[in-house]
Amino acid sequence: MNPHYDPGKPHHTSDGFRDPEADHRTSFRDVLAWKRDSRRAGLPKPPAAPTPVVEPDLDRIAGPETSATFIGHSTVLLRMGGLTILTDPVFSERASPVGFLGPRRAVPPGIAFDRLPPIDVVAISHGHYDHLDRASVRRLARRGGDRTLFVVPLGVGQLLKRWGIDNAVELDWWQSHLHRGVEFMLTPARHWSARGLRDRNQMLWGAIAMFADGFSCYFGGDSGYGPHYRATRQHLAGRERNGVLFDLSLMPIGAYEPRHIMKAHHMNPEEAVTAHREIGAKTSIAIHWGCFQLTDEPLDEPPQRLTAARTAAGLADDAFVALPVGGSWWRTGA
């Protein structure tokens, strides 16, 4: 039974949660057919170029400036509102329940774990292995102690508790938590959850909107494209400033092929550009690409398609960027 069940909420079920936008379940047979067809077609093709990597500017990151540093996949180090925030931390070699199978890192983390600054908040979007890594969050909890708060969707906190992590706040969609002057709000996303064969959708998923004094950030987590981007902007319309709801968004652009399997769960770059505009972001940073080979497109394809989609949409080059691993975005102006 879902201990959080509220029959008045369309994303709740008596035994878990659902995606009210597209309650489609890919069958095991669908997955087997996809893998068979991919092998026959020789997919995924190797990338033409490796994922770009730069040395992080750790001294500047540790300073007072508002910034975002791309560590890899959906792991981003944020400095905002006086807090140091880490999203979906995965520092292990594989995104997998075991250390010897599953997707392996194509590039090391942009900041090695031992070189991270002290972390105030860990923001987790959902429980998939490429977003919630047991070894990484346990190390962060031991390292940070009471200083490090985990902000997670419903159900994920109970999993963390089984792992010995007690300092977690669970949120439902549209619920928020204020921590040291920064508000964290879980907002809808089009996705699903599972860590095993028998726990599908027993934990919620979502995006996380963060609001500090004079700065806002949207962490898109993992999501297919859908009306939730417009709905989020409408729900939070009172927070817009000069037509901008989020000064920065972290928007997923990868793991999108084949479309008949992935469309309900992962955006392609063209959809991500549309989501960037609909969510009311001033600037977006691309996440969920270049680190783990999860689907059929080459690792270097998403940023190439992002560039073309950004140009086609008439956006400036710096409006939606794919940073190199280890690269940082710095806030300029007000």
CA triple 42-46-51, angle to 5 deg:
155
Torsions phi, psi of 61, nearest 5? -60, -35
Residue-wise pLDDT for 107-155, tens only, equals 999 999 999 999 999 999 999 999 999 999 999 999 999 999 999 999 9
Between residues 334 and 86, the one the model is more confident about = 86
Residue-wise pLDDT for 273-332, tens only, equals 999 999 999 999 999 999 999 999 999 999 999 999 999 999 999 999 999 999 999 998
* Structural domains of the chain, count: 1
Q: Is the peptide bond before 298 cis (omega within 30 degrees of 0)?
A: no
d(CA 311, CA 304): 11
pLDDT above 70 for 106 = yes
Mean pLDDT of the chain: 96
Torsions phi, psi of 139, nearest 5? -65, -40
Does residue 15 sit within a domain?
no
pLDDT above 80 for 266 = yes
Q: Residue-wise over 217-242: b if at least 16 C-beta within 10 A, else e?
A: bbbbbbbbbbebbeebbebbeeeeee
The pLDDT, as a whole number, for residue 26 is: 78
In angstroms, what CA-CA distances link 201 with 15, 127, 161, 207, 302?
Answer: 8, 10, 18, 16, 28
Q: Which residues contact 317 (CB under 8 A, 6 or more apart)?
A: 310
Does residue 183 sit within a domain?
yes
Q: Which of 125, 130, 88 is nearest to 105 (CA)?
A: 130
pLDDT above 70 for 34 = yes
Does residue 45 sit within a domain?
no
Contact call for residues 65 and 73 (beta carbons, < 8 A): no
Contact call for residues 22 and 189 (beta carbons, < 8 A): no
Whether the CA torsion 108, 114, 118, 124 is positive or negative: it is positive
Does residue 27 sit within a domain?
no
pLDDT above 70 for 24 = no
Whether the CA torsion 177, 327, 305, 264 is positive or negative: it is negative
Amino acid present at 122:
V
Sorting pLDDT into bands at 50, 70 and 90, what band is 334? low
Beta-strand relationship, 16-17 and 281-287: unpaired
CATH of the domain at 172: 3.60.15.10
d(CA 90, CA 245): 28
End-to-end CA distance of the chain: 47
Sorting pLDDT into bands at 50, 70 and 90, what band is 187? very high
Torsions phi, psi of 114, nearest 5? -70, -10
d(CA 32, CA 28): 6
pLDDT above 70 for 93 = yes
Does residue 145 sit within a domain?
yes
- For residue 178, the enclosing domain spans 57-326
Does residue 52 sit within a domain?
no
d(CA 280, CA 239): 11
The pLDDT, as a whole number, for residue 332 is: 87
What pTM, to 2 d.p., does this model score? 0.97
In angstroms, what CA-CA distances link 211 with 79, 163, 177, 179, 214?
Answer: 12, 29, 10, 10, 8
Does residue 322 sit within a domain?
yes
Residue-wise pLDDT for 190-233, tens only, equals 999 999 988 999 999 999 999 999 999 999 999 999 999 999 99
Q: Token pair for residue 277?
A: 């505009």
Neighbours of 152 (CB within 10 A): 30
Sorting pLDDT into bands at 50, 70 and 90, what band is 5? very high
Between residues 98 and 161, the one the model is more confident about = 161
Sorting pLDDT into bands at 50, 70 and 90, what band is 100? confident
Residue-wise pLDDT for 209-218, tens only, equals 999 999 999 9
Mean pLDDT of 168-177: 98
d(CA 177, CA 199): 26
Residue-wise pLDDT for 73-90, tens only, equals 999 999 999 999 999 999
The pLDDT, as a whole number, for residue 98 is: 87
The pLDDT, as a whole number, for residue 178 is: 98
In angstroms, what CA-CA distances link 320 with 75, 94, 305?
Answer: 17, 28, 12
Does residue 112 sit within a domain?
yes
